[in-house]
Amino acid sequence: QVQLVENGGGLVQAGGSLTLSCAASRNILSITPMRWYRQAPGKQREFVATINSGGSTAYAESVQGRFTISRDNAKNTIYLQMNSLKPEDTAVYYCNVRSPGVVGLEYWGQGTQVTVSS
């Protein structure tokens, strides 16, 4: 069982910045990749960014160069620094982890709303 809690969402103007956090209830960041997803109104949930236990990162093309995923293993927390925000970034953002011990089992946070005004 892993509990994930996101924070940091809010309302921001286009071109602004916002940082999201996701705290895990277990020390798993050193073992398992963590991911950010988002879901905009009328759209399916999409991948945003990932960071693995070695610190390697990958991003969706839509956020490449604007968003940065990072981690703090001591705090069991990952972050998503979002810069140069656009209205199309408006979505509910979720953190996600796949169980290191049970195939097919995933954990999701409750989501945090990010709204970017034009």
Which uninterrupted H or E stretch holds 10? strand 10-13
| pLDDT per residue as tens digits for the range 33-58 | 999 999 999 999 999 999 998 999 99
Token output for 101: 């011990």
Yes or no: say if 50 and 69 are a contact pair by the CB < 8 Å rule. yes
Q: Which residues pair with 96 in a beta bridge?
A: 35, 108
**8-state DSSP, 66:** T
The helix/strand/coil state of 88 is: helix
74-110 pLDDT, tens digit each: 899 999 999 999 999 999 999 999 988 889 999 999 9
